Amino acid sequence: MNEQKVVIRNLKETPTERGSCGMRRRLITEKESESVAFSHLKISDAKKHYHEKTTEFYYVLKGEGWLETDDGSISLTEGTMVMIRPGVGHRAVSSGELEVLIAMAPPLGEVSDCFYIKGELK
């Protein structure tokens, strides 16, 4: 792990990549922190999935949508925080533009802890 005392990332300078729930920018990764990772995510074309070890936190920054889980749907609006425990299938859906800050504890790491639910992977 990188032992920098302070890590600074600017969203505009962080590369965009495809994630399971949309286009993400990794702000803090497992390389900087063993306990938590943060990503900015624009929700689009999300696939239902779950994590075996990772607890995921969604904080809605902008827009509206919903989070489909094994137990039903949760409305997502600006200012909403949702915690998803390991093993819970989930998929975020936007009703236009939906941007979220995601925290993952522990981080997914180099070995992925993301498992797609059968029939959901395209």
- Collapse the DSSP code of 19 into the 3-class scheme (helix H, G, I; strand E, B; otherwise coil) and give the result: coil
User: Binning pLDDT at 50, 70 and 90, where does residue 23 land?
Assistant: very high
Question: Is 104 in contact with 33 (CB distance < 8 Å)?
Answer: no
Task: Give the global pTM.
Answer: 0.87
Q: What does the radius of gyration of the chain's CA atoms come to, in whole angstroms?
A: 14
CA gap 25, 30 in Å, rounded? 14
> In this model, does residue 2 exceed pLDDT 90?
no
> In this model, does residue 90 exceed pLDDT 70?
yes
Q: What number is the average pLDDT over the span 115-122? A: 64
Please give the domain boundaries of the chain with CATH numbers for all domains: 12-109 (2.60.120.10)
